[in-house]
């Protein structure tokens, strides 16, 4: 069977509405607001995975020069089970991960990997409005 990978966003990272000047706001690993990527691949397939994220959120209006610092972290499971409690921390560089068979179906041809995104922002005294940033997940498969 030829290698194949299917990646989708299961849940977007969402800090919600935060008031100006509220200071440090955190989304912990396991929070209902954390982001979740789901990667479906062949069992035993080797993936090269990297996560690149902005270090600040910028105001949606280009006429407003304001930003909010953001620090994001990622954990993953690679055994077909969506369980952040059994996840491992993902490094800050290109990481080699082998997709393992699901424990409930060890002979399965397909399995999954889950990546959990969480972190914190520091909401200073910035103009009100919507602030945005980007998280890019790169998956290279062999």
pLDDT in tens, 5-61: 899 999 999 998 999 999 999 999 999 999 999 999 999 999 999 989 999 999 999
Rounded to 5, what percent of the chain is helix, strand, coil? 0, 50, 45
Percent of the chain with pLDDT over 70: 98
The confidence score (pLDDT) of residue 55 equals 94
Contact between 118 and 29 under an 8 Å Cβ cutoff? The reply is yes
CATH class, range 5-141: mainly beta
**Which pair of tokens denotes residue 22?**
């509220």
CB atoms within 10 A of CB 39: 23
């Amino acid at each position: 069977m030829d290698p194949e990978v299917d990646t989708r966003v299961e849940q977007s990272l969402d800090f919600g509405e935060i008031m100006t000047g509220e200071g440090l706001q955190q989304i912990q690993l396991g929070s209902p607001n954390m982001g979740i990527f789901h990667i479906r691949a062949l069992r035993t397939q080797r993936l090269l995975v990297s996560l690149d994220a902005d270090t600040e959120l910028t105001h949606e209006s280009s006429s407003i020069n304001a930003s909010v610092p953001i620090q994001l972290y990622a954990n993953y499971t690679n055994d077909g089970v969506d369980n952040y409690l059994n996840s491992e921390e993902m490094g800050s560089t290109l990481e080699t991960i082998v997709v393992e068979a699901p424990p409930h179906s060890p002979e399965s041809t397909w399995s999954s990997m889950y990546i959990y995104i969480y972190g914190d922002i520091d909401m200073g005294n910035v103009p009100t409005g919507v602030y945005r940033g980007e998280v890019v997940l790169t998956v290279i498969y062999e």
